[in-house]
Amino acid sequence: MQLSNSMKNFYKFNFNLDETFDEYKLIKDFLDPNLVGQFYDDFSVFSSEILSSINSSKTSLEKIGIWVNHYSQGDFNEIHNHDHEEYQQKCDYTGILILEVGENEDLIILDETNTIPSSYKLTDGDCYLIRNDIFHGLEVVNDKLIALMFMVKS
């Protein structure tokens, strides 16, 4: 389900992730190439909603890069974007799928002009699709967070 978003810098969804997604919680860093295809198969039920939101004519997500980040208490992810040329050639958006999260964990996403930050409380199944040029980061983690990142080419 897509939540309303008046800005065009990101999209937010919340998906019900079944036990199929539990195995991704065990991975750290980049997925084994054999698992990349499996993830996109597991995630295919959500693909059309994501692609339709970004006005893509594609019927499925391309199998590009995927990695999993584990954050523990005290960890954070500095404010950054993915606007460098090599990344831009691969994709237009980065997807952040929240696999498991403790209480009161916040994602920061800046507005279209990259000046005004907004904070978003994270819950299991949240999926953010952020344009490559938009700055975002993770506030200091209070408990834990496991997030799977994937690339989307429109």
Cβ neighbour number for residue 70 with a 10 Å cutoff? 17
Q: What is the mean pLDDT of residues 132-145?
A: 96
Q: Is residue 5 part of a domain?
A: no
Range of the domain at 31: 10-152
Q: Is residue 115 part of a domain?
A: yes
pLDDT of 89-114, one tens digit each?
999 999 999 999 999 999 999 999 99
Cβ–Cβ < 8 Å for 100, 145? yes
DSSP code per residue over 108-152: EEE-TTS--EEEEE--TTEEEEEETTS-EEEPPPSSEEEEEEEEE
Cβ neighbour number for residue 110 with a 10 Å cutoff? 20
Tell me if residue 76 falls in helix, strand or coil: coil
Residue-level pLDDT at 31: 87
- CATH number of the domain bearing residue 74: 2.60.120.620
Q: Is residue 94 part of a domain?
A: yes
18 Cβ contact list (under 8 Å, min separation 6): none
User: What does pTM read for this prediction?
Assistant: 0.92
Residue-level pLDDT at 7: 56
| Eight-state DSSP code of residue 2 | B
Band (137; pLDDT cuts 50, 70, 90): very high
Q: What amino acid is encoded at 63 in this protein?
A: K
Q: Is residue 120 part of a domain?
A: yes
Which stretch of DSSP H or E encloses residue 79?
strand 77-80
